[in-house]
Structure 1
């Protein structure tokens, strides 16, 4: 194996490692969404006969906590995508490739470039999932109050 081929293999392994991290972050956001729906549904089913605003407060708190956590992993995924893109560009530029740090996973320089967490929380992908969940919880609260009054 020539020195150049070995070098290409090492770069390929490095890019694969970054891609694995990106996939893990994407998987985390998927699991968080699944857990959000599972917990809310389970609590609603178990406490449906008990009309209590405290339960809905807990459900809203759970939703917000998972929303923040989901947005955090989405932010990390985007940061690692920037890292990946930058490293591929460095690899394709022969001058930059010589000074490129292999297996450097430091994402701090890319953190500044990414949006802040509150901005990510109101991004389209997050709002389209969490806003209907919050809306459904509010509707359940209103319906349960109306049923309790009657």
Structure 2
């Protein structure tokens, strides 16, 4: 395999490789956005049905989709972070910042730091506040049920 000094930064191969990474990153960001959209839609529909039928006992069951959407969103964000790290590593190697390492052309793999990526994604500003707000809404709806239907 040729070393990084043999690649022209403006070559079609390098540009195509970078475009592959950019497409993956765009898909991951789009998937994360779609998960949030679906979460709001499903949770809203469930809450409307629960309020309409006055079923406060089913409120914890309605939290199941939120947890599943949260896990899926964290997965997509962590995968996006890992691909972004691989992208940055490729560019660094391409510019010769990593001595002795050859550029792996068209080897598109996410970074190997899975646990730290997932942990960082759970506490990300794009994930945690969104799902915390949904949790607060669940608490408010639960409080509304208690206020409207007090057990005396």
TM range (shorter): 0.7 to 0.9
Moved more, 58-67 or 43-52: 43-52
In structure 2, list runs of 5 or more residues that go unmatched. Answer: 1-5
Residue from 80, 85, 103 that aligns with 2:83 = 80
d(CA) in 1 for partners of 2:120, 2:101: 37
Partner of 2:146: 145
SS at match of 1:100: coil
In structure 1, list runs of 5 or more residues that go unmatched. Answer: none
* Alpha-carbon distance, 1:54 to partner: 3.9
Moved more, 12-21 or 138-147: 138-147
Residue from 53, 59, 64 that aligns with 2:62 = 59
C-alpha distance after superposition, 1:80-112 (max 9, x if no partner):
0001001011111298698322110122xx232
Would the aligned equivalents of 1:90 and 1:97 in 2 still touch at CA under 8 Å? Answer: no
> What TM-score, normalized to structure 1?
0.84
Moved more, 97-106 or 74-83: 97-106
* Paired residues, number: 146
Residue 26 to residue 15, structure 1, CA distance change in 2 (3 Å) = same
SS at match of 1:99: coil
Greater percentage in helix:
1
Would the aligned equivalents of 1:14 and 1:102 in 2 still touch at CA under 8 Å? Answer: yes
Partner of 2:124: 123
Q: Which runs of 4+ in 1 moved over 4 A?
A: 3-7, 94-98
RMSD of Structure 2 on Structure 1 (CA):
2.6
